[in-house]
Chain A
Amino acid sequence: MDASLKKQLELDAVRIRKGVIEGTYNAKSGHPGGSLSIAEILAYLYRVEMNIDPENPKKEDRDRFVLSKGHAAPALYAALANRGFFPVEDLKTLRKSDSYLQGHPNMNYVPGVDMSTGSLGQGISAAAGMALASKFKNDLFRVYAVLGDGEIQEGQVWEAAMFAASRKLDNLCIVVDNNNLQIDGTLEEVNSPYPIPEKFAAFGWNVIEIDGNSLDEVADAFAKAKECKGKPTAIIAKTVKGKGVSYMENQVSWHGAAPKEEQYKIAMDELNKAEAELEGK
């Protein structure tokens, strides 16, 4: 990709991260770790990959996005706000009792949210349903979903994987956010789903393995997914949980804990610095 686009996407990713920190800090709760890990993926989807219109979030031919790992809502909200679906300022209302920004995404409250999620394993089925609907409409749109790597322990994920391949839903592209940490520890410590690529391949999927925090690799993977006919695509994205905030990286304790005031300042300093560098200030 050209340098100016790359810089834009890097800025988008930093701004998504800032939104995650703002949201979870103000909410005093939420899931920063697994939100920070998917910033590049969301930045690319919402800036380049998906056919969307922030002015017309329900347009019929829009590409759909399902955050199957719904607890990463802070990242989704930040990505949407960053693209103008609603004011960035609203991210500070995350999880408040008078806010439309629920702890997990609600499609009826938030412009740009295509599916209500939060209960793990269910989003991928809804995404498959959307992809099937698109097939009924002559491939009117593509469907994207992001799953957690812990989430794929849910049996329903594999029901959906079987279904999507059986129905040849090549307009469906999922990303497994493989940050290797879930609430109770590493995936291996809890209940290993490895090897992940082989499992999806065995279910009949086109599988692409990437570094999910590399914009070049993310871009390349989505392009390859689009070219694949007759099979849904699973991008297995190795990521760093807590990416972009030094003290959160690879720390399972930041799965579901909000930064306190001092921690918030450190995180925002780091992210503001990164943003300023990208802006050339």
Chain B
Amino acid sequence: MADIIKTATRDAYGKALVELGKTNDKVIVFDADLAAATKTGMFKKEFPERFVDCGIAEANMIGVAAGMATAGYTVFASSFAMFAAGRAFEQVRNTIGYPHLNVKIGATHAGISVGEDGASHQCCEDIALMRTIPGMTIINPADDIETRLAVLAAAEMDGPVYMRFGRLAVPRVFDESYKFRIGKGAYLKEGKDVTIIATGLLVERALQAAESLKADGIDAAVINMATIKPIDRDIIIDAAKKTGAIVTAEEHNIIGGLGAAVAEVICETVPVPVLRVGVEDTFGKSGPALELLEIFGLNSANICQKAKEAIALKK
């Protein structure tokens, strides 16, 4: 068996910015004193003249990015998810979202896999916050391959994008032939009993779960939902019709994230059971990332359990 490649999506983000910087001289990268951690430092090293460190002042960074965007630049503004989406929420809403400016927010250190820094830095609310801003595109890539493609696609489109990256090195899910499209979910595995719709680092765990469920005679489909907004309604409806039961999986509060987005579509179209795997409306805590993912049930065992419960709820 080949070695599993593990990369943090924040690393892939930094590399993708450098790649983008080589071909697109309108790309400007902003950070708020976290360039080493968000990996925008890679861009800074390569293109120091197009890198702007705004210091520990995220609200201002978002506004400056907006102003820069009005003059025709494609601005990537980075910080931790907690500060980009949380602290600067209203700046993102009013100064980027409302005028629909071409700013890409590269938010790293999302979710509890931040690890030892603990709850103050473990943002499990960002998808919920960003989803409520009209016209905001939200992408939560699963691995390094998808991250690269998402960053390139975000730069191509006009308008605000919130990209969510992790600190933890995660196994590669896709190969080089993978095609990414904003707003499109994709079946990674077909199945007939239940569909697991996952995003971010839960995608790989959903695939593990589908494999485990086979032993119990359960044929689970797996969908990668990298774009949370606009949500791919068609693939959700298709999954509901084909399997009649859905489990969502995300490294985010079960309130307001992927699970909520999927449930909203399902309730309005093909009502079938939807069970959510996520952080269950609680704050995180310190600890090694992999341990925390187990403690908070963000693992294949919990996805399997929820899949069985969802199947049992079928009429």
A residues adjacent to B (C-beta < 8 A) = 60, 64, 66, 106-108, 114-116, 118-119, 121-134, 136-137, 155-156, 159-160, 162-163, 166-167
User: Which residue, of B63, B94, B98, has the highest number of chain A Cβ atoms within 10 A?
Assistant: B63
Query: What B residues does A129 contact at CB under 8 A?
Result: 63-70
Other-chain residue from A119, A134, A136, A163 in contact with B64 (beta carbon distance below 8 A) = A163
A124 with B98: CB separation less than 8 A: no
The CA of A162 and the CA of B53, in the complex, are separated in Å by 12
B68 with A132: CB separation less than 8 A: yes
The CA of A123 and the CA of B59, in the complex, are separated in Å by 11
Q: Which of B206-247 contact A (CB under 8 A)?
A: none
Query: What B residues does A118 contact at CB under 8 A?
Result: 94
The CA of A66 and the CA of B99, in the complex, are separated in Å by 13
The answer to whether the Cβ of B47 comes within 8 Å of any Cβ in the partner chain is no
Nearest Cβ distance between residue A207 and chain B, in whole angstroms? 20
B95 with A116: CB separation less than 8 A: yes
Nearest Cβ distance between residue A13 and chain B, in whole angstroms? 28
The CA of A162 and the CA of B99, in the complex, are separated in Å by 25
| Contact A116:B98 (CB < 8 A) given known A126-B70, A129-B66, A132-B67 | yes
The CA of A166 and the CA of B55, in the complex, are separated in Å by 10
The answer to whether the Cβ of B153 comes within 8 Å of any Cβ in the partner chain is no
The dominant DSSP class at the A interface is helix
The CA of A167 and the CA of B159, in the complex, are separated in Å by 26
B residues adjacent to A (C-beta < 8 A) = 28, 52, 54-55, 57, 59-73, 90-91, 94-95, 98-100
Query: What A residues does B52 contact at CB under 8 A?
Result: 132, 167
Closest to A161 in B: B60
The CA of A163 and the CA of B71, in the complex, are separated in Å by 19
Other-chain residue from A107, A119, A133, A155 in contact with B71 (beta carbon distance below 8 A) = A133
| Contact A130:B67 (CB < 8 A) given known A125-B59, A136-B73 | yes
For this complex, 8 residue pairs linking A to B, each with C-beta atoms less than 8 Å apart, are A115-B70, A123-B63, A127-B67, A130-B70, A133-B68, A133-B72, A160-B60, A163-B54
Nearest Cβ distance between residue A70 and chain B, in whole angstroms? 10
A125 with B60: CB separation less than 8 A: yes
| Contact A115:B67 (CB < 8 A) given known A156-B59, A162-B55, A163-B54 | yes
Query: What B residues does A134 contact at CB under 8 A?
Result: 71
In order of increasing CB-CB distance, the 10 nearest A-B pairs are A129-B67, A125-B63, A133-B71, A159-B60, A159-B57, A129-B64, A126-B67, A130-B67, A116-B99, A129-B68
A116 with B64: CB separation less than 8 A: no
A159 with B95: CB separation less than 8 A: no
The CA of A132 and the CA of B99, in the complex, are separated in Å by 19
Query: What A residues does B54 contact at CB under 8 A?
Result: 163
Query: What A residues does B65 contact at CB under 8 A?
Result: 129
The CA of A136 and the CA of B95, in the complex, are separated in Å by 21
The CA of A136 and the CA of B72, in the complex, are separated in Å by 11
Other-chain residue from A64, A106, A124, A130 in contact with B99 (beta carbon distance below 8 A) = A106
Query: What B residues does A115 contact at CB under 8 A?
Result: 66-67, 70, 95, 99
| Given A126-B66, A129-B66, A134-B71, 4 new contacts (CB under 8 A) | A123-B63, A126-B64, A129-B67, A155-B59
